[in-house]
Amino acid sequence: MKVPISRASKELGVSIDTLRRWEREGKFTSERTPGGHRRYDLNKLQKIANKEREDEKITVIYARVSTPNKKDDLKSQIKRLEMFCASKGWKYKIIQDIGSGLNYKKNGLLELIKLIETDQIERIIVNYKDRLLRFGTELLFEICKHHNIEIVILNEDEEKTYEEELVEDVLSIITVFSAKLYGSRSHKNKKVVSEAKKLFKERD
So which residues are the catalytic ones? Answer: 66
Helices and strands, counts by H and E, the chain: 8, 7
What is residue 67's DSSP assignment?
Answer: S
**CA–CA gap between residue 164 and residue 158 (Å, rounded):** 11
Closest CA to 126 of 72, 192, 77: 77
Which residues have CB under 8 Å from 177's CB, separation 6+?
Answer: none
Q: Are strands 31-32 and 38-41 parallel, antiparallel or unpaired?
A: antiparallel
Closest CA to 204 of 177, 166, 152: 166
**CA–CA gap between residue 1 and residue 86 (Å, rounded):** 43
Closest CA to 144 of 160, 125, 128: 125
Closest CA to 124 of 134, 112, 133: 112
**CA–CA gap between residue 124 and residue 112 (Å, rounded):** 9
